[in-house]
Amino acid sequence: MEFTEWLKDHMISCPLKSATGIDCPGCGLQRAVIKLLEGDLEGSIQMHPAAIPMLFMIIFLMIHLKVDFKHGARILTVVFVFSTIITFVNYIRKWYTGEVFG
């Protein structure tokens, strides 16, 4: 079994969506990462536009913890704020278009 297929079979369900039927701001993130692993950059961005900056942040954090970059904390803060803004702008767009009820 391919790794991405295994991930698809073991995705964690969203508690908010399960309880209310409404997407949370993070809905689509798992699918976006799977799309990225499959090489579908456009599909990943459509699923969750902040997935790529979030993955960068996680990878950079792991490296920073070992290497201790001079401005590592500042870079992580900027990427975190950028990812958060993208997430909430996308969520507002999804509310406006009615996609959160999908």
pLDDT of residue 24 exceeding 70: yes
Mean pLDDT along residues 87-97: 95
- The two tokens of residue 93 are 């767009």
Measured distance between the N- and C-terminal CA atoms of the chain, rounded to whole angstroms: 30
State pLDDT tens for residues 44-61: 999 999 999 999 999 999
User: Model-level pTM?
Assistant: 0.85
Q: How many domains does the chain have?
A: 1
pLDDT of residue 1 exceeding 70: no
Percent of all residues in the chain with a pLDDT value above 90, rounded to a whole number: 89
For residue 78, the enclosing domain spans 3-101
Secondary structure (3-state) at 71: coil
- pLDDT range class, residue 101, cuts 50, 70, 90: confident
